Structure 1
Amino acid sequence: MTQQADKPAGTPIVVSVRGEANLEADPELCEFAVTVTARDRDHRTALEQLTRRNKELLDQVKADYGDALEKLETGRFGVYPEWRSRKSDKVGPYQGSVRVRIVVKDFAVLGEMVTKLADGEGRAVDGPYWSLRRDSEVYQRARTEAVSEALRRGHEYAEAVGSTLVELLELADTGMSGGSAAHPQGRAVYAMAASAPGGAAYDGPPALDLEPVRQTVYAAVEARFSATQPAKL
């Protein structure tokens, strides 16, 4: 609490406080990425192979899990030669890759979805990354609780010296952050597709058991109140 000195009796004082809130909530979205790759000695063949595998992935996601999706986006794409050595201008096989970003809102299908997509030829999966929506009501609750905490502290400081809050002079948002408590972006799991050993029939992998990472949201405000002159000084 701050008090302006050498003021006549009855002159309001200023009480400055900080209110904070730290909430935990279940994530609302889960993001992971599938990178589709292709490799061949012929540039055209590598490109056609990559195009086919990318289409197979997108068709599979839309057909099997369309209702569970929040977003499906194509990201980085590239096709390039493998140089045999730095001292030679000879070109080796060509390789290419396409990265597809998948954001899921229905966690009930997530474990099955990840393993099935990773099981495709020439695919690599990384994720999951858990998060809240940008407009999640959790952020609003954190802000509201931070303001309530500032108001409570203001009253407590004023009452401690026999003063009373009069009016709010200023309320400033000092920042907000979100993420999981232990890992800001959640946990990472990497999976590479592989063929069944010995060419045996492959029925597909079991669904991956994924445990959502709780998200932590922190909010803080600074408030300034005018108050009556203390009665205990």
Structure 2
Amino acid sequence: MTQEPTRTTHQPYGTPEVPRVAVRGEAHLEVDPEIARIGITVSARGTDRRTALEDLTRRNNAVLELVKSYGEPVEKLETGAFSITPELTRHGRGERVRAYHGRVHITAELNDFTTLGELTTRLADLELTRIDGPWWALRPTSPAHGEARRQAVLEAVQRAREYAHALGADLASLVELADLGAEDATPYPPGGSGMRTMAFAAPADDAGAPPLDLEPQRQTVHAQVNARFTMTPPRL
């Protein structure tokens, strides 16, 4: 007869001989952002579809060439939505197309904030070009996330040890460590707590405007863990 292996049952609670203590560890760090994103909207308007499309293509190419000319500080450049929309007007008993409106939405991500200020100003000088942002952020692989998690674990251990010492006991072993996640206050998309929003439209006659001085917004990184420990019997 084959003997079944003995299964170890885990008690959800401690016992008088092996009491448990459950705590939560938290950490909150403020760090400088690593990247900044801006939204660029290029517009065009024409009395016919071909004119609007040609103007939009020309302005879109000018924006892309300008952004790409900055090289390595630009980590990402993506084209989003594109649209050509007719503007209708009533004429007699029917409807006619009065004009066509074209738009292209572009997102750029930069890691050099001095370059960001210069590029933002030059983009705002372009015809019918709107700039939104910047949205400051950390990279998902930023060491700040790991540091926050490490501090949260250390706080959990310290808190559990203080509870045990208050009972005249010591921590014995770790039973469980549950990661609740380290959240960065990513300011992107709009609505995040780390967002600073500005919108710029190209001026009519102003050329060669000085670069904007953009002050990076500090990012808050959170981490939380739940931890359960066993401890020696308390001296009550």
**Map of 1:92 onto structure 2:** 98
**Map of 2:204 onto structure 1:** 195
Q: Deviations over 1:101-158 (max 9, x none)?
A: 0101011211111010110011000001000001100000000000000011111110
Q: What stretches of structure 2 of length at least 5 have no aligned partner? A: 1-11
Q: Provide the C-alpha distance between the structure 1 equivalents of 2:219 and 2:80, rounded to a whole number of angstroms.
A: 26
Tell me which amino acid in the other structure corresponds to 1:186.
M
Q: Provide the C-alpha distance between the structure 1 equivalents of 2:153 and 2:117, rounded to a whole number of angstroms.
A: 39
- In percent, how many aligned pairs have the same letter? 46
Q: Counterparts in 2 of 1:69-108, with a 5 A limit?
A: 69-84=74-89, 88-108=94-114
Question: Residue 167 of structure 1 contacts residue 227 of structure 1 at CA under 8 Å; is this kept in 2?
Answer: yes
Question: Residue 33 of structure 1 contacts residue 126 of structure 1 at CA under 8 Å; is this kept in 2?
Answer: yes
Q: 1:170 to 1:42 in 2, by over 3 A?
A: same
**Map of 1:227 onto structure 2:** 231
Q: 1:142 to 1:74 in 2, by over 3 A?
A: same
Q: Provide the C-alpha distance between the structure 2 equivalents of 1:83 and 1:176, rounded to a whole number of angstroms.
A: 50
Q: Provide the C-alpha distance between the structure 2 equivalents of 1:102 and 1:209, rounded to a whole number of angstroms.
A: 18
**Map of 1:186 onto structure 2:** 195
Find the residue that maps to 1:194 and give its secondary structure.
coil
Q: Deviations over 1:44-88 (max 9, x none)?
A: 11111111110111011112x122111110011110101225985
Q: 1:223 to 1:194 in 2, by over 3 A?
A: same
Q: Provide the C-alpha distance between the structure 2 equivalents of 1:177 and 1:111, rounded to a whole number of angstroms.
A: 28
Q: By percentage of residues, which structure has more helix?
A: 1
Question: Residue 180 of structure 1 contacts residue 214 of structure 1 at CA under 8 Å; is this kept in 2?
Answer: no
Q: 2:162 aligns with which of 140, 156, 167?
A: 156
Whether 1:17 and 2:23 are equivalent positions in the alignment is yes
Tell me which amino acid in the other structure corresponds to 1:74.
T
| TM-score calculated relative to the size of structure 1 | 0.89
Question: Residue 172 of structure 1 contacts residue 222 of structure 1 at CA under 8 Å; is this kept in 2?
Answer: yes
Question: Residue 138 of structure 2 contacts residue 186 of structure 2 at CA under 8 Å; is this kept in 1?
Answer: no
Question: Residue 194 of structure 2 contacts residue 219 of structure 2 at CA under 8 Å; is this kept in 1?
Answer: no
Tell me which amino acid in the other structure corresponds to 1:185.
G
Q: 1:83 to 1:147 in 2, by over 3 A?
A: same
Question: Residue 180 of structure 1 contacts residue 213 of structure 1 at CA under 8 Å; is this kept in 2?
Answer: no
Q: 2:148 aligns with which of 109, 130, 142?
A: 142
Whether 1:204 and 2:208 are equivalent positions in the alignment is yes
| TM-score calculated relative to the size of structure 2 | 0.88
Q: What stretches of structure 1 of length at least 5 have no aligned partner? A: 197-201
Tell me which amino acid in the other structure corresponds to 1:170.
E
- Structure 1 residue 204, shift from structure 2 partner: 1.6
- Structure 1 residue 178, shift from structure 2 partner: 1.8
Q: Provide the C-alpha distance between the structure 2 equivalents of 1:173 and 1:120, rounded to a whole number of angstroms.
A: 48
- Structure 1 residue 4, shift from structure 2 partner: 4.7
Q: Provide the C-alpha distance between the structure 2 equivalents of 1:106 and 1:152, rounded to a whole number of angstroms.
A: 39
RMSD, matched Cα:
2.1
Find the residue that maps to 2:107 and give its secondary structure.
strand
Q: Provide the C-alpha distance between the structure 2 equivalents of 1:207 and 1:4, rounded to a whole number of angstroms.
A: 64
